[in-house]
Amino acid sequence: MAGRREGDDGEPGGVLAGLGWALARDLRLAVRTRSELAVQLLFYAIVVTLFPLATTPERTLLMTMGPGVLWVAALLASLLSLPRMFALDQADGTLEQMALSPWPLPAIVSGKILAHWLTTGLPVVLLAPLAALQYGLDGEAIAVLVAGLALGTPILSLLGAIGAALTLGVRGAGGLLALLVLPLYVPVLIFGAGAVDAVRAGLGADANLSLLGAGLIVAALGAPFAAASAVRIALD
């Protein structure tokens, strides 16, 4: 799957310029609408708080559930902000210009994905230690949780971008996006939450974290192209 651009593919300057431009633009937009970012973080905090209320405050059980709950909450928080990734640009016509620009579209999409991670994934990574304390996880488990989230949440943004582009301007996009994207998140969830479980079981999290890292590389190399072709499909 090559990003079918006419003239200038293979020119590294174009790739970096496109990525940087989209990144800067989306970060600027995010700062302007920072209350929405706060809403996503609050959402994460509330979901994490609901689970003990729905089950039990008992410590051993919370420690068992904790990694899974924190990861599921991270998936949902990432999902919540996905529809915005392309929809705003499509509404004001910027997306059309991006597709016509001399920069390769996959590079621009990569910039938008990076911006999405910086504004929604990274805050969750930073908030996770606090939430982990609520679940009674100890220092090593928290370190592995954070490492796993740091490697895994970018994959969520990468895969999510494909879903966001495919559901662009489609009927019932929000629910559909969840149906498309959540099954694809399964391996990330398993390796991420599994890393913390492995540490708690005394097995070491190296294998899980390596798999997440490999997944991140593969997703970073593939997803922008798939998302870019999905954007083109949505535009014509």
Partner 1 sequence: MAINWYRYASPATFYPVAGRLAPAFGALAAIFAAAGLWIGFALAPTDATQGEAYRIIFVHVPTAWMAMFVYLVMAFWSALALAFNARLSAMMAQALAPTGALMAALALWTGAFWGRPTWGTYWAWDARMTSTLILLFLYLGVIALRGAIDDPRRADRACAVLALVGAVNVPIIYFSVQWWNTLHQGATVSLTAAPKMASLMLAGMLVMSFAAWFWCIAAALWRVRAIILERERGSAWVAALPETNLRAA
- 147 is written with which tokens? 């490492």
For the bound state, the minimum distance from the C-beta of residue 66 to partner 1, rounded and expressed in Å, comes to 15
Instruction: Please identify, using beta-carbon distances, which residue of 61 and 190 lies nearer to partner 1.
Output: 190
Instruction: Please identify, using beta-carbon distances, which residue of 26 and 197 lies nearer to partner 1.
Output: 197
For the bound state, the minimum distance from the C-beta of residue 34 to partner 1, rounded and expressed in Å, comes to 31
Which amino acid, 209?
L
For the bound state, the minimum distance from the C-beta of residue 231 to partner 1, rounded and expressed in Å, comes to 10
Instruction: Please identify, using beta-carbon distances, which residue of 31 and 207 lies nearer to partner 1.
Output: 207
CA distances from 173 to 34, 65, 125 (A): 23, 31, 27
Q: Please choose, from the candidates 93, 102, 113, 100, the residue with its C-alpha nearest in 3D space to the C-alpha of residue 22.
A: 113
**Nearest-angstrom CA–CA distance, 213 and 205:** 12
For partner 1, the binding residues (CB under 8 A) are 1, 159, 162, 166-167, 170-173, 176, 179-180, 182-184, 186-187, 190-191, 194, 197-198, 215, 222, 226, 229-230, 233-234, 236
For the bound state, the minimum distance from the C-beta of residue 225 to partner 1, rounded and expressed in Å, comes to 10
**Nearest-angstrom CA–CA distance, 7 and 198:** 49
Instruction: Please identify, using beta-carbon distances, which residue of 114 and 234 lies nearer to partner 1.
Output: 234
Instruction: Please identify, using beta-carbon distances, which residue of 77 and 219 lies nearer to partner 1.
Output: 219
For the bound state, the minimum distance from the C-beta of residue 230 to partner 1, rounded and expressed in Å, comes to 5
CA angle 156, 234, 185 (to 5 degrees): 15
**Nearest-angstrom CA–CA distance, 60 and 200:** 12
CA 230 and chain centroid, separation? 17
Instruction: Please identify, using beta-carbon distances, which residue of 17 and 108 lies nearer to partner 1.
Output: 108
For the bound state, the minimum distance from the C-beta of residue 165 to partner 1, rounded and expressed in Å, comes to 9
**Nearest-angstrom CA–CA distance, 111 and 209:** 25
